[in-house]
């Protein structure tokens, strides 16, 4: 039995929960309290010296880190990763795109809105994060204008990797209404067999996200004022 | 015959030149003038809507983007990618680490030092980039304390991916003298058959890098003063 060390409100961790559900593969989930310092303990750093979730652990103690590398390993040989080498390469390409050009903007904006205190100086980063995040969403929209999925002809792990934070981009202040093909794709992903949604954020995160939305409205003078500079 | 659309002074592009040399595989190299706007032309954006180099193009016009996805596709079936699934997964894990936790700090610091004008406001980012870059180097040092390579038991594409910007980290102001295992590994990589070094940066880049080094010395009052805040 494999163990996933993960944080439920992290999209990178939810990717694994979604794929494991769709593979019908049992696993232990060990909840990691990211904000409580669980990734900074000697025990955790022995598993991942980079101090990040998720971590996959085998029964014999061997570990694999990096969400998209774990997705690729779990999906190998299944219908969630194409057998054609060129299509496999395209799936990996989208997964590297996700980690370099998408997650660092869209996931980080969500984190700042919901998990950094409302007076955090990090809110000053939001305009730049949103500009770069919208560039990534535009690249996805262009692809989805001509194709149903990111993993060749079928739904697969590139879709899972990109779905995770796109589905909750609104928490970071991203308005997706300008991306019709992307919105259709989100619904197609939600309709796949065995789909599981990420659990809702905690009450405090929802409250701070709501405050961020107010702050982002034109004319608002406190957080929004900082966020726009 | 494949074509690589790449920029010679980009580590992400040099990764491909290094692997192709070691595979003994012929290719066309089409130089892309990154700073001159070549990645913003409609022709280039048709190949990669994300506007980044490198791009691999097949003879029939199909393209593959993202340096590490290209490395993985080129190396598949060769000695540069392990055949064991778990070791392949570890290689991919290091390649995602490189793109998420290493390149955005170490490559970006180098770019700012050598290719952003000496009065660029981006220099204010350097202290944060160096702090995060050193965290990545420490993770590599810890691994290399017990293992010779990043791709299982043999040299391979995870080594190539991590070598590219680690080898030129000094250009971004990183002092590697505190990482003895990493320095040994850099020399082991340089000694592999078919190794090719990245071409030297242009005269202007070298001049700006030298200015950055002066600015970084304690007591210096202009760029260094800004960089430390």
Say yes or no: B90 and B67 in one domain: no
What pLDDT was estimated at residue A200? 85
Say yes or no: B37 and B126 in one domain: no
What pLDDT was estimated at residue B160? 98
Rounded to whole angstroms, the Cα distance separating B170 from B164 reads 12
Substitution target in B12, B69, B151 with the highest count of A β-carbons within 10 Å is B69
Q: Is A214 within the bounds of a domain?
A: no
Given a cut of 80, is residue B221 above it in pLDDT? Answer: no
Say yes or no: A90 and A190 in one domain: yes
Q: Which of these three, B75, B106, B131, is where a domain ends?
A: B75
Distance from CA of B99 to the nearest CA of A (A): 6
Q: What residues pair up with B63 in beta bridges, in sequence order?
A: B57
Say yes or no: B91 and B175 in one domain: yes
Say yes or no: A35 and A57 in one domain: yes
Average pLDDT over residues B23-45: 96
Nearest CB partner across the interface for A89, out of B64, B96, B100: B64
Mean of all residue pLDDT scores within chain B? 93
Which residues 42-101 of A are in CB contact (within 8 Å) with B? 49-50, 52, 62, 64-70, 72-73, 76, 85-86, 88-90, 92-93, 95-97, 99-101
What pLDDT was estimated at residue B201? 85
Which residues in chain B have their CB less than 8 angstroms from residue A74's CB?
none
* Least-confidence region, from A44-53, A214-223, B51-60, B217-226: B217-226
What pLDDT was estimated at residue B216? 66
Given a cut of 80, is residue B211 above it in pLDDT? Answer: yes
Q: Is B49 within the bounds of a domain?
A: yes
Alpha helices in A152-221 (DSSP H): 157-166, 180-190, 203-215
Q: What residues pair up with A30 in beta bridges, in sequence order?
A: A5
Rounded to whole angstroms, the Cα distance separating B151 from B76 reads 13
Are B4 and B64 a contacting pair, CB within 8 Å? no
Where residue B200 falls among pLDDT bands split at 50, 70, 90? confident
Enclosing domain of residue B44: 2-75
Where residue B222 falls among pLDDT bands split at 50, 70, 90? very low
SS (H, E, C) chain B: CEEEEECCCCHHHHHHHHHHHHHCCCEEEEECCCCCCHHHCHHHHHHCCCCCCCEEECCCCCEEECHHHHHHHHHCCCCCCCCCHHHHHHHHHHHHHHHHHHHHHHHHHHHHHHHCCCCCHHHHHHHHHHHHHHHHHHHHHHHHCCCCCCCCCCCCHHHHHHHHHHCCHHHHCCCHHHCHHHHHHHHHHHCCCCCCCCCCCCHHHHHHHHHHHHHHCCCCCCHHHHHCC
Say yes or no: B68 and B93 in one domain: no
Rounded to whole angstroms, the Cα distance separating A209 from B48 reads 34
**What is the ipTM, given to two decimal places?**
0.94
Sign of CA dihedral A107, A109, A110, A116: positive
Average pLDDT over residues B46-70: 98
CATH (domain of A133): 1.20.1050.10
Cis peptide leading into A54, omega within 30 of 0? yes
What pLDDT was estimated at residue B7? 96
> Is the Cβ pair A85, B76 closer than 8 Å?
yes
Strand, helix or coil at A55?
strand
Nearest to A92 by CA among B141, B155, B161, B188: B161
Which residues 196-225 of B are in CB contact (within 8 Å) with A? none
Q: Is B26 within the bounds of a domain?
A: yes
Q: Is B210 within the bounds of a domain?
A: no
CB atoms within 10 A of CB A21: 14
Distance from CA of A195 to the nearest CA of B (A): 25
Q: Is B227 within the bounds of a domain?
A: no
Q: Is A135 within the bounds of a domain?
A: yes
Cβ-Cβ contacts under 8 Å for A150 (sequence gap 6 or more):
A90, A91, A94, A140, A143, A156, A158, A159, A162
Where residue B81 falls among pLDDT bands split at 50, 70, 90? very high
Q: Is B171 within the bounds of a domain?
A: yes
CATH (domain of B28): 3.40.30.10
Nearest CB partner across the interface for A97, out of B50, B76, B139: B50
Radius of gyration from C-alpha coordinates of chain A: 18
What pLDDT was estimated at residue A92? 98
B118-173 residue pLDDT tens: 899 999 999 999 999 999 999 999 999 999 999 989 999 999 999 999 999 999 99
Which residues in chain B have their CB less than 8 angstroms from residue A135's CB?
50
Say yes or no: B43 and B15 in one domain: yes
Say yes or no: A71 and A100 in one domain: no
pLDDT tens string for chain A (229 positions)?
999 999 999 999 999 999 999 999 999 999 999 999 999 999 999 999 999 999 999 999 999 999 999 999 999 999 999 999 999 999 999 999 999 999 999 999 999 999 999 899 999 999 999 999 999 999 999 999 999 999 989 999 999 999 999 999 999 999 999 999 999 999 999 999 999 999 988 889 999 999 998 876 654 433 333 333 2
Sign of CA dihedral A153, B73, A54, B103: negative
Say yes or no: A66 and A98 in one domain: no
Q: Which of these three, B34, B49, B75, is where a domain ends?
A: B75
Say yes or no: A96 and A119 in one domain: yes
Tally of domains in chain A: 2
Say yes or no: B12 and B52 in one domain: yes
Say yes or no: A135 and A103 in one domain: yes
Nearest CB partner across the interface for B72, out of A76, A89, A142: A89
Q: Is A226 within the bounds of a domain?
A: no
């Amino acid at each position: 039995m494999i163990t996933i060390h993960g944080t439920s409100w992290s999209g990178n961790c939810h990717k694994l929960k979604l794929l494991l559900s769709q593979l019908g593969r049992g696993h232990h989930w060990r909840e990691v309290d990211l904000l409580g310092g669980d990734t900074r303990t000697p025990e955790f750093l022995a598993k991942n010296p980079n101090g990040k979730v998720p971590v996959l652990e085998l029964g014999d103690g061997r570990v694999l880190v990096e969400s998209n590398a774990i997705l690729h390993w779990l999906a190998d040989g299944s219908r969630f990763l194409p057998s054609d080498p060129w299509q496999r390469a395209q799936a990996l390409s989208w997964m590297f795109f996700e980690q370099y050009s998408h997650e660092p903007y869209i996931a980080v904006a969500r984190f700042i809105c919901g998990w950094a205190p409302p007076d955090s100086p990090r809110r000053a980063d939001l305009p730049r994060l949103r500009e770069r995040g919208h560039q990534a969403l535009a690249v996805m929209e262009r692809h989805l204008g001509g194709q149903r999925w990111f993993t060749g002809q079928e739904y697969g792990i590139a879709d899972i990797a990109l779905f995770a934070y796109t589905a909750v981009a609104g928490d970071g202040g991203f308005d997706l209404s300008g991306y019709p093909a992307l919105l259709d794709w989100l619904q197609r992903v939600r309709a796949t067999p065995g789909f599981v949604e990420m659990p809702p954020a905690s009450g405090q995160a929802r409250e701070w996200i709501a405050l961020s939305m107010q702050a982002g409205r034109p004319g608002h003078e406190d957080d929004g004022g900082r966020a726009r500079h």
